[in-house]
Amino acid sequence: MTDKRSLTERLNPEIREFLVEMGAEDVFKCYQCGKCSSVCPWFQVGTYDFPVYRLPLEAALGMLASSEDKDELAAEVDKIYRCVGCDACVDQCPHGVDIPSILRAARRILVDYGSYPEALKDVVGRTRDTGNPMGGPAEKRLDWARRLDVPAYEPGMDYLFFSCCLSSYDPRITDVSAAIATILKAAGVSFGVLESADKCCSEAIRRVGAEDVFLENAAANLGAMADAGVTRVLVNSPHCYTAFKNEYPESNARFEVVHITELLADLIRGGRIQPAAEFPRRVVYHDPCTLGRQNGVYEAPREVLRSVPALQLLEVPEFNRRFSLCCGAGSGALWVEWEKEERIAAIRLNQLAATGADVIAVACPYCQQMLEETAKSTAVEIEVLDVAEILAASLE
């Protein structure tokens, strides 16, 4: 049974006020021009009707996440959790409407009521209980660092290296942390890790709507960093980057945040790293939404790749830099399974493979996992490597 009430009957000022209170201040700015719909990744997928331009209006009317009908609410929940937070719509909107924030406000309501996807409930639960979305034991978080004799951070070191959860626990992506450690040692950069068990930055958890878990983990990380006297944090995940740089300051964080590709480009410019070994492959760079569109870091990763001898750098025509298509993993979507024909990652993978590249270079663990898994499941023959892994190979 779907909700048979008329539109007027369904207007809900209380929900609208609640949404605004939760951070959806932009609900009244939309003038329904529709520009956001054409840049949304769901427009590329085409098999799922995601009504992007209607979302601010639905929120302004108090209709988002408001249905009392079970089936209709289930469809609402599915819709609200389709957004991957890529900010393509924000970038294009003439009135500066932040649709992902509107949806995040709706998600906060749904999380409060326990009406959100089961897979995400598990992820939120694991992050609350263990400090990371995979549920890995805290004492194993730094195993990758111990294997490489990376010391504990001490004041006076150049950087605290904060390795994201995927590159701390996922056996494939710990290779990226290892590559980073190897390069930094070769360049004579002093760095250490946070021995007092750092927790997930929780950027994705916040976008799922679990604000309390985000705030708890942010406070724990900020406390541990302050106790250790950290002044500069080096991250490999754009999600940690945006959390620390743009969101933790809401809680008065006091440190500089650097993405690994920015530091690597600097080290190459300064002659502290000299890539020598040839990497004779055709490499296409995939801009992560959170590093590129959301934080303006487009050139540093390309600069690193261009410095590698014999590497041929390719671009996805039109869909690069601020027009890059999301890998489909943001805002919790990494942990949600959609139907095969509805996967944003498959569309992006095909765009990247169509350049004739044999390697996709990434600068984000989420993109790496999403594109690598999708390549395996769709039998597209292309390797997915982090920029740091490619650079480390050229130093050997």
Q: For ligand SF4, which is the closer residue by CB, 99 or 257?
A: 99
Q: Are 233 and 254 in contact (CB under 8 A)?
A: no
Looking at the Cβ atoms of 33 and 354, the one nearer to ligand SF4 is: 33
State how far the alpha carbon of 145 is from the alpha carbons of 82, 148, 191, in Å: 36, 5, 11
Q: Which amino acid is at 301?
A: P
Cα dihedral value 30, 58, 114, 244, nearest 10: -10
Two tokens, residue 140: 């194993």
d(Cα 193, Cα 148) in Å, to the nearest integer?
12
Q: What is the largest CA-CA distance in the chain?
A: 69
Residue number, 18 or 42, with CB nearest to ligand SF4: 42
Burial grade of 146 (CB within 10 A; 0-12, 13-18, 19 or more): exposed
Residue whose CB is less far from ligand SF4, 311 or 325: 325
Q: Please, which of residues 43-62 interact with ligand SF4 by CB under 6 A? A: 52-53, 56
The answer to whether 367 contacts ligand SF4 (rule: CB under 6 A) is no
Query: Token pair of 380, please?
Result: 């597209």
Q: Indicate the residue type of 36.
A: C
Q: Binding to ligand SF4 by residue 93, rule CB under 6 A? A: yes
DSSP string, 92-144: H-TT---HHHHHHHHHHHHHHTT-S-HHHHHHHHHHHHHSSTT---GGGTTHH
d(CA 231, CA 157): 9
Q: Which stretch binds ligand SF4 (CB under 6 A): 14-22, 84-92, 151-159, 304-312?
A: 84-92
Q: Parallel, antiparallel, or unpaired: how do β-strands 256-259 and 232-235 relate?
A: parallel
Write each residue from 8 to 27 as x if it is in contact with ligand SF4 (CB under 6 A), else as -, in one continuous string. Answer: --------------------
Task: Verify binding: residue 85, ligand SF4, rule CB under 6 A.
Answer: yes
Map residue 193 onto helix, strand or coil: strand
Residue 208 touching ligand SF4 (CB under 6 A): no
Residue placing its CB nearer to ligand SF4 in the complex, 116 or 279: 116
Please give the Cα distance from 85 to 331 (Å, whole number): 5
Site membership for ligand SF4, residue 76 (CB under 6 A): no
Select 39 or 297, whichever has its Cβ closest to ligand SF4. 39
Task: State which residue, 25 or 216, has the beta carbon closest to ligand SF4.
Answer: 25
CB 133 to ligand SF4: min, Å: 20
**Which one, of 164, 124, 132, 175, lies nearest residue 336 by Cα?**
124
Which residue among 19, 64, 99, 362 contacts ligand SF4 (CB under 6 A)?
99
What is the DSSP secondary structure assignment for residue 152, as one 8-state letter? B
336 binds ligand SF4 (CB under 6 A): no
- Interface with ligand SF4 includes 347 (CB under 6 A)? no
Binding-site size, ligand SF4 (CB under 6 A): 26
Per CB under 6 A, does 97 bind ligand SF4? yes
CB of 163 to ligand SF4, least distance (A): 27
Smallest distance, Å, CB 29 to ligand SF4? 7
Min CB(89)–ligand SF4 separation in Å = 3
CA distance 254 to 244: 10
The residues binding ligand SF4 (CB under 6 A) are 30-36, 39-42, 52-53, 56, 83-89, 93, 95, 97, 99-100
